[in-house]
Structure 1
Amino acid sequence: MSTPSERLPHQAAATSFHRLAYGGNPFQYGELYVPEGPGPHPVVELIHGGFWRKAYDLTLMQGLAQNLVAQGMAAWNIEYRRIGNPGGAWPGTFLDVAAATDYLNHLAPIYQLDMQRVVAVGHSAGGHLACWLACRHLLPSGSAIHTSETPLKLRGVISQAGVVDLEQAWQLGLSQNVVQALLQGSPAEQPVRYAEASPAVLLPSGVPQILVHGSIDDIVPVSISRSYAHRASATGDNVQLLELPEADHFILIDPNSEAWQLTIKGIKHLLG
């Protein structure tokens, strides 16, 4: 289920790069970056955003992946079916992200990955999916997006301007009411889907979470992270909100930005 190893342009020779399929669909693959030297290597799973739409892909996170591997961490930059792809949105988007995450158990002995130190980092819609991964062990076994009784246990999660409350995002009508397309209905029409797909409803996750959000983000308002942090804390979760003054939506995924350096600091804290 893998293709031959490749190298990205300008990639340092001290790392290896592998494009690996975790399923049979063309969009079910990830890019694994492994640092030089003996493992086991801590792993950062990267989940790109783009409001779950097919127009955006994992190239958004490639710069972050290269930055992580240069600092001695393996990076698993995943692709998944999105709105507009056959099988995307509910439930395929969720099934893919779960499968890509659990596939790390298969990759661990091959690439010397440390399954005790896996952190998920997602931007925008990817932030939603990262936080959902932390909560998915709470799904009922009959759920359409329940995939395992023993999902991979994350060491922590970082949401970068994440859409972590789907009902609130629906109320705000974000991106031409994209949540309606993701879950194929409103909260009144699809209450079970909203309950099972929204991290804000599934809390407490029991997984440490760091929320990074810019104060002038005009794509995903910081109010979503503020309310989520309050709700998560109230349930007993270990959650920290880093609100960055004068930061917009996309600076968070610029590997040369101070915002990304703060995220790196959070990743290292979660990894221990």
Structure 2
Amino acid sequence: MKSSLKPTCTLTLAALLTFLPALYTHATPLKKVDSQLNYIDTHPSELNSDSKAPHPNSATIIDAVVALSMMGVTQTNSNNEDIHDNELKLSLKEASKDTHANAKDDVHANKKTRMLTQVPYSALGVLPTREHDSKFSYGEDTLQTVYVWHGRGGIKNQFAGNVVIFVHGGCWLNAYGYDHAKGFYYALAELGVGVYAMEYRRVGDEGGGWPGSLEDVINAVKASIEKIEAMGESRNIFVVGHSAGGHLGLLAAQQLSGSDIGASIKQVVGLAAITDMQRYAHGKNSCQTATPKFMGGMPEDKFNAYKMATPGVVDIQPSVILLQGNQDSIVPEHHAAMVGAKNRIVTNGGHFDWLHPESTSFDALLEVLGEHDK
């Protein structure tokens, strides 16, 4: 038996040695399955739990908690695991290299396929960040402060010389501060963009709401432009606002149009900006129902106030572009349709995508900033 089996084993081994390399070469690699991101209604069911948060106003926070408790925001993969336990990290160095690469380039094409949509609010809190480089006050209230992130990389960075004056959103409520977008500021700064992120009084703060919040934003924009021009290093100044901050940014630019300060603004960019105040106040999601709190009543009772609080692009001196996701469950797509404004609609774009540097929406913002980069 031994003598009869030995040749057979030898032949079998030889065959395996012959075909294994071929089998290995043609093996199909494992494919990464894109996670399905889900976002329902408006802001997430968790508020900032930092005990050092500057807003102790319990009534406002209770209102926000009640509104947010109905969200049901989830983000899971096909195994129902929290995908943010293993959060995707942005390589900002690589992003700065290929943001405007040729679309035919394989690396850039692969990067595009990995970009996110429908990012939940909770994803913003795990992004890489760093503290601001400096800050300055534009009023006597501690909230009247602008926090500055200087663009990194010097003149070699693609977006060096561009500066964003940013107005954060959060339904005009003081439950949401400038700090929820720190990952956004960090990402822009690493790409060479200077960021001036203002804090301002909101609903729940003394002096906040209409028109106090707008007055703060106007003063913050003016003070920021003065600081930027005093440094003499910036080519293009953008006023960028997200959601309720987009609404206030548009109004601030409108108020400053025709002035020397306003002439320094290269472009106004609304990221899911709220532009139709009367219609928004009649909506049913949690942010829409905050509108009467901000305005001090419904449109039927505050007709003139709502008229003044509705921005008009034709009255804004710099050009205006409205960026909007067509699947935004907080600010509907029609808010991006304003006479005199350009717009760009991101397919399957969600409300918080703009603040996440791995999203298609963030990439669309970079394209807008890059158009003025020469």
TM-score, with length taken from structure 1: 0.79
SS across alignment from 1:199? coil
User: Which structure is larger by alpha-carbon Rg, 1 or 2?
Assistant: 2
1:221 and 2:338 are equivalent in the alignment: no
Give the aligned partner of residue 369 of structure 2. 267
Give the aligned partner of residue 57 of structure 1. 177
Q: What is the CA distance between 1:57 and its match in structure 2?
A: 0.8
Distance 1:270 1:177, change over 3 A: farther
1:183 and 2:295 are equivalent in the alignment: yes
SS across alignment from 2:366? helix
Over the residues paired in the alignment, what is the CA RMSD in angstroms? 2.6
Q: What is the CA distance between 1:151 and its match in structure 2?
A: 4.3
1:152 and 2:152 are equivalent in the alignment: no
Q: For each residue in 1:228-249, what CA deviation from the matched residue of structure 2 results, as whole angstroms up to 9, or x when unmatched?
A: 2xxx2xxxx3x22211111111
Give the aligned partner of residue 309 of structure 2. 197
1:69 and 2:181 are equivalent in the alignment: no
Q: For each residue in 1:48-86, what CA deviation from the matched residue of structure 2 results, as whole angstroms up to 9, or x when unmatched?
A: 111100010111222222122222221101110000111
Where structure 1 has 5 or more consecutive residues not aligned to the other structure, the ranges are 1-8, 139-147
How many residues are treated as equivalent by the alignment?
241
Preserved CA contact (<8 Å) 1:46 1:61: no
Distance 1:122 1:42 in 2: 16
SS across alignment from 1:35? coil
Q: What is the CA distance between 1:90 and its match in structure 2?
A: 1.4
Give the aligned partner of residue 143 of structure 1. none
Q: 2:144 aligns with which of 28, 43, 48?
A: 28
Give the aligned partner of residue 243 of structure 2. 124
Distance 2:369 2:284 in 1: 31
Distance 1:118 1:127, change over 3 A: same
Give the aligned partner of residue 255 of structure 2. 136
SS across alignment from 2:150? strand
Q: For each residue in 1:188-236, what CA deviation from the matched residue of structure 2 results, as whole angstroms up to 9, or x when unmatched?
A: 3222222222114x6332321121111111111112223x2xxx2xxxx
1:256 and 2:320 are equivalent in the alignment: no
**1 or 2, which has the higher strand percentage?**
1
SS across alignment from 1:103? helix
Q: What is the CA distance between 1:271 and its match in structure 2?
A: 5.5
Distance 2:205 2:199 in 1: 12
Give the aligned partner of residue 95 of structure 2. none
Distance 1:103 1:113, change over 3 A: farther
TM-score, with length taken from structure 2: 0.59
Give the aligned partner of residue 115 of structure 2. none
Identity %: 25
User: 1:89 corresponds to which letter in structure 2?
Assistant: G
Where structure 2 has 5 or more consecutive residues not aligned to the other structure, the ranges are 1-127
Q: For each residue in 1:166-204, what CA deviation from the matched residue of structure 2 results, as whole angstroms up to 9, or x when unmatched?
A: 11212335525222111212223222222222114x633
Q: 2:134 aligns with which of 18, 24, 38?
A: 18
Give the aligned partner of residue 99 of structure 1. 219
Distance 2:251 2:135 in 1: 24
